[in-house]
Structure 1
């Protein structure tokens, strides 16, 4: 096999390099708490015809990576079905988001081999693509630049994409630098590891911001956001009654049904939101008082089943807990005799939790009276009063 000398570059090469050269964007390191990397792949099967000198036809082909794929942490590029009789002539670049990386330049073989071959360019590969009389039909190599300088600087490490958004259009360019040989590329593919450098954040509101409830089944109002840069989107959420034991992750929504822990008292509900790679937000929480105990009427006056009660008496009781004043009216607190309602004024003293029924006139003597309390009388949690009423008899 004849050992061919390097080819002489022409003006076509310099023009192509000048058009593609860009500034290198610095990578942003993902924080230590970030979720494990995820991978997205893409491929182009458009054939690129490589002339004996000049840019390929088409001049470039593209791979579109869909939205919400976060921040690049590693990228590998594979040339599929590369056929060329003098690879040393080729210069290959990949470009994305204003940054260009040279994958191949003045390397490969001059074996006149026309069998299509596959090469992966990977920063973590053991070696660069050699300048050799023979090459394996496939292999993994570091990006290769054997030009020795003298051109507009272009990055030769795929790591320059680290920290950029994976989403968007990636383009591959090929130029044959010298006359005398030609070939083609059947297609190319991308393998991108990505992450999301920032966790989402959000809040939770129990029962629309209520301070107290009479039911353990509540509705959670949920609001969260994922930062715009490198977003992978809100995807899931989970809940806890103690901040330690969590429910299974479920798809993100703006409302959710939840059951408070057993027992009356102040209850806290925690929520965490997850993005597309699994980063969890800091826990957000809200509190509410659970009160399932019905109020009762105590300190009855007159006492239950009392006799010889003065006809000038007032009827009263003290609630076991605070009542909703609007529910204590002459329609919900009644005094009756013989099936007829006694006209009376009803008042509720919130400070003492005392309900007073004052008849418009003295009661009839030697008469049995009934005090009737409606279930519409409720405490601030919404529990109906448990005491239905009582009886007494005047003197």
Structure 2
């Protein structure tokens, strides 16, 4: 608001108007008008799009000093490329023009200083004014008219902007106030964002009437390859419609590939030796300038002439570079480098360096050529010659070892069966055993089936299979299904046997003493066997044998008991003779023995009916006789655990004994 009020006050100090000052132009001159691209000014703040000037303009730029805001300075930038300015033509004059909407001269005389900006990298959004370079021109109060144009001569400065095609300026006025008072010593002009295109700042460029050159020619546009640097190519000539420019034209090389050539006056020379196969042509631009600075640029293509050259490199490979082969029929591939790209080549081959009986064949880097090596195992050399259509030749050779003999394996044979660990050796190549890599001297200890494959460098293979079984068979033996006692010598043996991963083919034999054995027979689940005579512990031995002769021994024991226990029973009565009792509950006096161990018994009041269970023999035992008065009689029995029963004893109850 302060800025707006200050601009309104400036209306009271408007100076008189004057006619615009425009430099005269020649009748045959043409000009260009370039509007400002970016503009802003800075006082106590920065104004990207200007500010109201108090006379109806909303986007004004101020330069000078005002008591309320201090010094105001502005920056302008013009884009000169993209057809805006033709720097190939001589610029006769260039003016920066500003339309002043306001001129304040309260307590001082305004002026405008135009500076060149030090760089063009700023934008109108910057808050900092670009640094100034040289002062281009100052226009004092007499040249500043409100609602009129003011012009700065920027001709020399603009001619220097042909490289980056950007022109930046800084405008300054009073930077400090005069002593005393509240001065407003400033001018205002429209910002480009004002929308008043006819009054925004612009550059007016006028070109000199001199005409540029119209044509350029070159006397020769080719040079043979392989010639040294400084080889002359041709002479440039140009046509210019201005007679005063005849003999004053100058030539200059431009373009990306100009480094391959140089100009001496209007004579074109090479700066390097050219190679047709690497690059067959070069593009250069030649600019001719007249005395007025007018230029003409024309593109030229300098051709490199192809010269027949011999091949520079040759390589031969056998079987894609393999070192060994097991067949004398091989495949040859060649690589030949010829500077003359696209020219046909021929090749031929031989097994001897000084004998060339093979016919020439068309060369192709993708072709394979079948070839037969010289007979016999050993290192073989194949020789090659290549030649171009001019007869230039180049040679190469390659070697390969012919090996038709498979590896020799020792330690195992094909389809062999082994009961001890084996050590595998082979004289050459690499080996895999059941798919795993091994080295010569490898010892096989684990049982199983094996396949061995040994391959030498030439691809010859030796393959064999073998079986290793180092483990005896396993099994079990039971007499009478594992019973502890038997009452008969003829028993049944229960047998199991397996060879696991072994060779199988199991056989068995038996012995009662470990010295005398039955004959070998095939494994069976059962075997009838007679124990040695006489009661007591009996041991039966069994051997299991597999097909490779591995044996393992098993045994089982059982007690043979063919004699019943000895026993006696009496009933203690209530009379002195122990012949009668007045109570049904009596005391039994019992005796029982057996040579093979403890005896058990079972009791009953009924002969032959023993419903009670077996129990250990007791010297005295309470017993209840059968009901009813009268004579009671029983027959006791005893037995061992093997079921051997004792004889019956006269009594009034019955007892059965057995071996425990």
TM category, shorter: 0.3 to 0.5
Q: Which has the higher contact order (CA 8 A, sep 6+)?
A: 1
Q: Which has the larger radius of gyration?
A: 2
